[in-house]
Amino acid sequence: MKLPFLSAIVAACALSASAAFSLDLELSPYKRLPSLSGKLKSVGSDTMLHEMELWADGFKTIYPGVQIEIDGKGSNTAPPALLSGEAQLGPMSRQMTVDEIDAFEAKFGYKPTAVLVAVDALAIYVHKDNPITCFAIEEVERIFSADPKNGDGKSIHTWGELGLTGEWARKPITMYSRNSLSGTHKLFKQQALGGADFKTTVHMEPGSEAVVSAVSADAAAIGYSGIGYKTSGVRAVPVAQSQGKKCYDTSFESAYTRKYPLARGLYVYLMKDPKAPMDTLSGEFVKYILSKDGQTQAKRGGYYPITRNIREHELTRLGLLVSAE
């Protein structure tokens, strides 16, 4: 089962060229059961680690008898954990690949279920004092890629090559990236580098927070991470789809309309047999995440909440809508 982020957003907001940007974010609060207990384990995305912790803490406040264990080393760890039965929840900052889906289906006879739980802008971060105003995707590729296809194949090595002057002109660019366990790494490689390998001089960091921390400590640095990890020490630079096109920031509107080129959905993958109801504990946790209570936590974590239409779409697919209202 593949739920493209763009399709979900289009379903949520059909905007005419002259229409003002408007999304229905009035979600229903979570309706608790008289009692609930049991154990859940979540294995997957580092980008979503803090978010999963917020959701788990909120859910356990409602149901003290529930235990939720969370492991967030990277999206690439989610599919194997679901496949082995180690986890019931697999948060991912990217969609599963065809090979990952096929392996799951070969074992269980059905595809894994992806639930869109929040929207993110994969931000390009620089140090707060860096005056750069915009990146074109081609420029990002030429900074990070070992084999750039744009700019006649010429890499960008200094900030002066991006138009900065004065003391910035000769500063060499220091690059920071997530490591290969990360869904953010995989998505950035696909969308920004066209699938090419990273330069060997790129510093690979184990977590999103580590990337942002490194950039905030290095005036000449550049890195990428989810918008939920933005701090006062860095700036998220607007990005253009191509050279000469308009730059868009990482705002809620730009992410939802996909004007920001690196907008993405955040997902929780589940083991849901389409011929059987979802188990009560997993189902209630999903309903909590998609409720007003859960999406308030999504905003608290720095991400963008889902709309009412997306919520109803997801709960209907899971057979949870009637009991959720």
| Structural domains counted in the chain | 2
Quickly state the pLDDT bin for 323 (edges 50, 70, 90): low
Helix or strand (DSSP H, E) at 265 = strand 263-270
Has residue 17 been placed in a domain? no
Average pLDDT along the chain: 91
What value does the mean pLDDT take over residues 191-213? 96
pLDDT value of residue 25: 77
231 and 299 housed in the same domain: no
Has residue 53 been placed in a domain? yes
Is residue 197 a contact partner of residue 148, using CB atoms and an 8 Å limit? Answer: no
Helix or strand (DSSP H, E) at 264 = strand 263-270
pLDDT value of residue 133: 97
Per-residue pLDDT reduced to its tens digit, 64-110: 999 999 999 999 999 999 999 999 999 999 999 999 999 999 999 99
77, HSE (Cβ side, Cα atoms, 13 Å): 20
Domain span at residue 293? 5-9+24-119+264-324
Residue 11 has pLDDT above 50, yes or no: no
Residue 150 has pLDDT above 60, yes or no: yes
178 and 289 housed in the same domain: no
Has residue 66 been placed in a domain? yes
pLDDT value of residue 23: 63
pLDDT value of residue 5: 54
Strand partners, 176: 203, 223
What value does the mean pLDDT take over residues 229-247? 97
152 and 255 housed in the same domain: yes
Q: Enter the pTM of the model.
A: 0.89
Residue 1 has pLDDT above 90, yes or no: no
Has residue 32 been placed in a domain? yes
Burial of 33 (0-12, 13-18, 19+ CB in 10 A): exposed
Strands 239-240 and 38-43: unpaired
pLDDT value of residue 216: 98
34 and 84 housed in the same domain: yes
250 and 136 housed in the same domain: yes
Per-residue pLDDT reduced to its tens digit, 181-193: 999 999 999 999 9
For 73-232, strand residue ranges (E) read 89-92, 113-127, 135-136, 174-178, 203-205, 221-226
289 and 207 housed in the same domain: no
105 and 130 housed in the same domain: no
Has residue 18 been placed in a domain? no
CA distance 258 to 24: 17
42 and 115 housed in the same domain: yes
65 and 197 housed in the same domain: no
Quickly state the pLDDT bin for 321 (edges 50, 70, 90): confident
pLDDT value of residue 26: 87
- Which residues make Cβ contacts (< 8 Å) with residue 247, sequence separation at least 6? 133, 134, 135, 238, 239, 240
105 and 139 housed in the same domain: no
CA distance 177 to 224: 6
Residue type at 318 in one-letter notation = L
What value does the mean pLDDT take over residues 6-30? 55
